[in-house]
Amino acid sequence: MDIQEEHIIPNVVSQYNLDEEQEKKEIVRKYRALLRALRPKIKKGDKELLRTAFEMATNAHKTMRRKTGEPYIFHPISVAMICVDEIGLGVRSTICALLHDTVEDTDITLEDVKDEFGNEIAKIVDGLTKISTVMDTNSSQQAENFKKILLTLTDDPRVILIKLADRLHNMRTLDAMKQEKQLKISSETIWVYAPLAHRMGLYNMKTELEDLSMKYLEADTYKEIAKKLAETKRERTKYINEFVRPLKDKLTSEGFQFEIYGRPKSIHSIWNKIKKKGVSFEEVYDLFAIRILLDSPVEKEKEECWKVYSLITDEYLPSPERLRDWLSNPKSNGYEALHTTVMGPQGKWVEVQIRTKRMNEIAEKGLAAHFKYKEGSQNEDRFDKWFMQIREALGSQDEAGIDFLQDFKTSFLAEEIYVYTPKGEVKMLPTNSSALDFAFYIHTAIGSKCIGAKVNHKLVPISHKLRSGDQIEIITSNKQKPSEDWLNSVVTAKAKNSIKDSLREEKKTIAEEGKYTLQRKLEGIGAVYNSYNIDQVMNYYKLHSHLDLLYRIATKNIDLKELKLFQVLGDKIEAPKPELVQIEHPDTQTLKQIPKKDSELIIFGESSDQIKYTLAKCCNPIPGDDVFGFVSTGKGLIIHRTTCPNATQLLANYGHRVVKTKWAKNKEISFLTGLSIIGMDDVGVVNKITNIISGELKINIAALTIESQEGLFKGTIKVFVHDKDELEELVDRIKSLNGIQQVNRFDTATV
C-alpha cells in the first residue's frame, strides 16, 4: 500500500441549517459520539454524572446560539470532544468542559455545580469562569487575563488544558466573526495560546492553532502556500514512497514492529522557513517529515530507536549538524524522539523522526499522556520542575501584565538548550540564555555576585549566550551587586525577578531621601503628606508608582518646581490641568470619521470632520494593504499593516485601542516604500531595473543602493507608489528580468 501524507487541519463544518427536530437529533448524536470516545475511561457511576452534566448544560444554553447560527450547546460538546479525543483527558475534565460556560453565561451558579458534582469539578469550573474574559474580544488587558490563567496552573493544570480546547474550537469556527475580531483572537492565539500548547507538549494542537491564526492574519500567503501544497501533493507522495521503500524492507527484515508515514510540515512552519531563510516555496526542501513509530517495550525503547537510526543512516547519508537527541535529554514537557536529516534520492534533504508509540502519545497529547505514564521517571521530574519554576515566577505579583507576559514567553514558552555544571549535572534553560541566567538558575545568591564565567574552560562575560552542550563554571565576587543593565543580559523570569528585587531594595533606600524632600515641599505650599496628595503629584508627572516618584525626586530627576501651580483645598491638593497642544506631524495625513458605533475610519475621505493619523514606521503601510488603526498614547492614531511585526502584540494586548480602518481611492498622494532585490551580477542590471521603475511605470525613485559580491548583487530601492497594486506590478516586472532571484518588500526596515 502506498504511503500517503497525513493531513493536519480537519475539515470543520461551521454553519448548520437545521430545523429544531434535526438540531435535537444532532445534539444527541454528538453526545453519543462523546460517550463512545470516553468508553475506555468510564467507571461505575460515571455515565449518570455525564448525563447530568450534559442535561444541565443543554438546558442552561437552550435559548442561546453561536455566531455561526448553530445551537450554543454544540460548542461545549465540541470542547469536551477535543479534551477526550485530542488531549486524552478523562470523565472529570469532560464534565468540566460541558459546563465551562454555564456559570459565566447562564443562571447556573457555582454552588449548583458544587452541589451536583462536588468540590473538585466546581473548582475547575470556577477556574474556567475566572479566565473566561480571555475570549472577550473587547478585553483591554489580555496579558492580565493570561496571568490569571497561569495562576490556575498552581491549582489544577486541567483548567489550562480545557481552556486550550476551548480556544481551539473557537479558532475552528472563527469564520463567523467580523474581521477585526478575527484579527484580535488570532493574534492572541499566536502570541500566547500556540506557544502554551507547544510547552504543554500538545504539538498537533500547537500546529493547528498556528495554521488557523495564519489563515486570518496572513490570509493571502496562507492560501498561496495551501494551494502550492495541494498542487505538489502527488509529486510528494511519489517521492515519499520512493524514500521509504528501502527503509520498510530493512526494518521488516530486522523484525521491528513499526508504522512509517510522511507528514506535511504545517503551512505556518513553511512560511517561517520562507521568511527566515529568504527563499521561495519551491526552495524549501523539507516540506514534509518522515515519521517512524516503533512498537517497543519501555525497557528497549532507547536501544531500538538508535538501531533504527543506524539502519536509516546506512541507507541515506545524515547531516551531522541536524541530529536532535531528545532520547538522552527529553524536553521538560516530556517530549522524547530522535530527529535526523538525511540526503534522500534526487539530492533532497529529508527529516526523519524516530519515536515509539508511547513517545508519540506524549508528543500528541502532552501533559495528559505524560501523567498517564508517570512512574517516577526522569521526564516527570523535569515536568514537575518546569511547573515549580512557573509557580516561582507567578510569586512576583507586582510586575505589570505586559512585562510578565513577555518574560513568561521567553522563559517558559521558548525552545530549550541543555547545559552542564562543572560536576556534569545537566540543566535545562530556554534558548538565548546567558551565563548570568545560568548563575541565577543555580541560586539567587550566586547570580547576584556573578562577575563572569568559564564556558568550556574559557573565560566569558556574564552576557555570553549559551549553547546546548556547554559546561559552565560561574565566577563570583562579594563586592558585586546587580545593576539595571543586567536586565538586558537575561531572558529567564527567575533572573529578571531577582535582579528587579535587588534593584527595588536599593531604590527603596534611595527613595527615603525623596520622601523627606516631598514632605518639606508639600508643607511649604500648606499641604499635608498623605497617600492622596502623593497620587496627585505622581499622576501629574505621569509615573506609575510612589516609589518611582520618590526615587526620581531623590536622584534630582524631578525638582518639584511645578508644585507652586497646584491648588490646595483643605487637606487635598489638585494638579493643574495640562494645556492641550495640537502638534502637527510632517507625516500625518487626514482621514474621515464615520460617527457611529463599530464604524470604519476611511483614510483619505473628504469631510469637515478631520482626524490626524500617522503611518507606522515599523511597517510603512500603503493603500491596498490590510490595515488597522491603533490609538497610541500621546501620538494619536497610528496606521499599521495587519502583517506588521508589531501587529500581533498590539492586537493581542490592546484590542480596545484598535480602530477598524480601510483605504479610500486616492491617486493624488504617493507613499514611500522599499524593495530588496537579489540577483546575478550582470552588466546593465541596474539600468534595466531603473528603466522599469522610472521609464516604463513612471514611478519616482527616492533612493537606490546596490552592492556586488562574488557574482551576486544585493540592492535596496526606495520608491514612491500610489497603492499596493502599483507596487505588485513593479515587483512582477522586476522579477521577470533575467537573473533576478528575489524581490521582497521591506517588512521592518525604516524606509
Kindly report, residue by residue over 201-232, the tens digit of the pLDDT: 788 899 999 999 999 988 888 999 999 888 88
Buried b (16+ CB within 10 A) or exposed e, 33-54: ebbebbeeeeeeebeebbeebb
Instruction: Report residue 397 as a C-alpha cell.
Output: 505579583
The pLDDT, as a whole number, for residue 593 is 39
What's the pLDDT band for 78 if we cut at 50, 70, 90? very high
Position 244 in a domain: yes
Q: How far, rounded to the nearest angstrom, does the alpha carbon of residue 373 sit from its chain's CA centroid?
A: 29
- Whether residue 338 contacts residue 353, with contact meaning beta carbons closer than 8 Å, is answered with yes
The pLDDT, as a whole number, for residue 11 is 39
Same domain membership, residue 568 and residue 515: yes
The pLDDT, as a whole number, for residue 153 is 56
Instruction: Specify the range with the lowest mean pLDDT, choosing from 276-290, 327-341, 567-581.
Output: 567-581
Average pLDDT, rounded, for the chain = 80
Q: Kindly report the CA angle at 24 between 18 and 30, in degrees rounded to 5?
A: 95
Same domain membership, residue 287 and residue 186: no
Same domain membership, residue 25 and residue 160: yes
What's the pLDDT band for 509 if we cut at 50, 70, 90? confident
H helices of 258-300, in order, are 267-277
CATH of the domain at 682: 3.30.70.260
Same domain membership, residue 212 and residue 129: yes
Reply yes or no on whether the pLDDT at 513 is more than 90.
no
Answer whether 0.85 is exceeded by the pTM.
no
Position 557 in a domain: yes
Residue from 428, 424, 545, 435 nearest 495 by CA = 435
The pLDDT, as a whole number, for residue 590 is 42
Q: How far, rounded to the nearest angstrom, does the alpha carbon of residue 185 sit from its chain's CA centroid?
A: 12
Three-state DSSP at 282 gives helix
The pLDDT, as a whole number, for residue 588 is 43
Reply yes or no on whether the pLDDT at 338 is more than 90.
yes
Three-state DSSP at 451 gives strand
Reply yes or no on whether the pLDDT at 603 is more than 60.
no
Residue 615 dihedral angles phi and psi, to the nearest 5°: -85, 130
What's the pLDDT band for 369 if we cut at 50, 70, 90? low
- Whether residue 289 contacts residue 353, with contact meaning beta carbons closer than 8 Å, is answered with yes
Instruction: Specify the range with the lowest mean pLDDT, choosing from 43-52, 137-146, 407-416, 488-497.
Output: 137-146
Instruction: Report residue 317 as a C-alpha cell.
Output: 547519508
From the CB of residue 430, how many other CB atoms can be counted at a distance below 10 Å?
Answer: 19
The pLDDT, as a whole number, for residue 521 is 84
Q: 655 versus 353: which is more confidently predicted?
A: 353
Highest mean pLDDT among 204-208, 327-331, 547-551, 628-632: 204-208
Position 417 in a domain: no
Taking phi over 0 as left and psi of -120 to 50 as alpha, with beta for the rest, 308 belongs to alpha
Reply yes or no on whether the pLDDT at 282 is more than 80.
no
Quick one: average pLDDT of 588-608?
A: 42
- Whether residue 83 contacts residue 368, with contact meaning beta carbons closer than 8 Å, is answered with no
Reply yes or no on whether the pLDDT at 730 is more than 70.
yes
Residue type, 212: L
Residue from 650, 667, 711, 608 nearest 140 by CA = 650
Position 26 in a domain: yes
**Domain-ending residue, one of 348, 373, 398:** 373
Reply yes or no on whether the pLDDT at 450 is more than 90.
yes
Instruction: Specify the range with the lowest mean pLDDT, choosing from 237-241, 283-287, 293-297, 585-589.
Output: 585-589
Same domain membership, residue 133 and residue 35: yes
Segment 556-579, tens digit of pLDDT:
888 787 887 787 877 788 877 654
The residue segments making up the domain with residue 699 are: 671-745
Same domain membership, residue 607 and residue 513: no
DSSP label of 471: B
Residue from 739, 743, 729 nearest 699 by CA = 729
Q: Which of 104, 120, 224, 380 is catalytic?
A: 104
**Domain-ending residue, one of 217, 247, 266:** 217
Cα separation, 370 vs 602, in Å, equals: 52
Same domain membership, residue 64 and residue 193: yes
Instruction: Report residue 732 as a C-alpha cell.
Output: 512582477
Instruction: Report residue 135 as a C-alpha cell.
Output: 475570549
> At CB < 8 A and 24+ separation, what contacts does 571-579 make?
571/527, 571/528, 571/530, 571/532, 571/533, 572/527, 572/532, 572/533, 572/536, 573/522, 573/525, 573/527, 573/533, 573/536, 573/537, 574/536, 575/536, 575/537, 575/539, 575/540, 576/540
Q: 511 versus 390: which is more confidently predicted?
A: 511
Residue from 168, 164, 84, 92 nearest 128 by CA = 164
Q: Cα dist. 5→234, 236, 471, 556 in Å?
A: 10, 8, 41, 67
The pLDDT, as a whole number, for residue 748 is 46
The pLDDT, as a whole number, for residue 79 is 94
Same domain membership, residue 173 and residue 79: yes
Q: Which of 105, 501, 548, 681 is catalytic?
A: 105
Same domain membership, residue 341 and residue 290: yes
Cα separation, 249 vs 266, in Å, equals: 29
**HSE on the CB side for 573, CA within 13 Å?**
27
Three-state DSSP at 526 gives coil
- Whether residue 196 contacts residue 405, with contact meaning beta carbons closer than 8 Å, is answered with no
Reply yes or no on whether the pLDDT at 134 is more than 80.
no
Position 620 in a domain: yes
The pLDDT, as a whole number, for residue 599 is 40
**Cα dihedral angle (196, 201, 203, 207), rounded to 10 degrees?**
0
The pLDDT, as a whole number, for residue 149 is 60
Quick one: average pLDDT of 438-451?
A: 92
- Whether residue 660 contacts residue 598, with contact meaning beta carbons closer than 8 Å, is answered with yes
DSSP label of 321: G
What's the pLDDT band for 651 if we cut at 50, 70, 90? confident
Q: 74 versus 583: which is more confidently predicted?
A: 74
> 525577578: which residue's cell?
497
Highest mean pLDDT among 1-10, 134-143, 594-603, 698-707: 698-707
* Number of domains composing the chain: 5
The pLDDT, as a whole number, for residue 335 is 84
Position 479 in a domain: no
Instruction: Specify the range with the lowest mean pLDDT, choosing from 140-149, 201-210, 503-512, 693-702.
Output: 140-149
Cα separation, 731 vs 692, in Å, equals: 10
- Whether residue 731 contacts residue 697, with contact meaning beta carbons closer than 8 Å, is answered with no
Quick one: average pLDDT of 714-727?
A: 87
- What length is written for the chain? 751
Position 35 in a domain: yes
What's the pLDDT band for 196 if we cut at 50, 70, 90? confident
Cα separation, 497 vs 481, in Å, equals: 14
Highest mean pLDDT among 247-256, 401-410, 487-496, 722-731: 247-256
DSSP assignment of 202-224: -HHHHHHHHHHHHHHHTHHHHHH
Q: Kindly report the CA angle at 239 between 237 and 240, in degrees rounded to 5?
A: 65
What's the pLDDT band for 123 if we cut at 50, 70, 90? confident
Residue from 692, 689, 682 nearest 704 by CA = 689
DSSP assignment of 122-176: HHHHHHHHHTGGGG-TT-S-HHHHHHHHHHHHTT-THHHHHHHHHHHHHHHTGGG
Three-state DSSP at 240 gives helix
Q: How far, rounded to the nearest angstrom, does the alpha carbon of residue 97 sit from its chain's CA centroid?
A: 24
Q: 391 versus 62: which is more confidently predicted?
A: 62
Q: Kindly report the CA angle at 745 between 617 and 612, in degrees rounded to 5?
A: 30
Residue from 320, 216, 206, 223 nearest 269 by CA = 206
Quick one: average pLDDT of 506-528?
A: 86
Residue 304 is a catalytic residue: no
Cα separation, 541 vs 558, in Å, equals: 9
The pLDDT, as a whole number, for residue 595 is 36
- Whether residue 553 contacts residue 516, with contact meaning beta carbons closer than 8 Å, is answered with no
CATH of the domain at 92: 1.10.3210.10
Residue 105 is a catalytic residue: yes
The pLDDT, as a whole number, for residue 370 is 62
Reply yes or no on whether the pLDDT at 655 is more than 80.
no
Position 488 in a domain: no
- Whether residue 697 contacts residue 722, with contact meaning beta carbons closer than 8 Å, is answered with no
CATH of the domain at 368: 3.30.460.10
**Domain-ending residue, one of 355, 373, 391:** 373
Same domain membership, residue 253 and residue 145: no
What's the pLDDT band for 403 if we cut at 50, 70, 90? low
Same domain membership, residue 348 and residue 328: yes
Segment 136-188, tens digit of pLDDT:
434 435 555 566 566 655 567 788 889 899 999 999 999 888 888 888 888 88
Same domain membership, residue 333 and residue 188: no
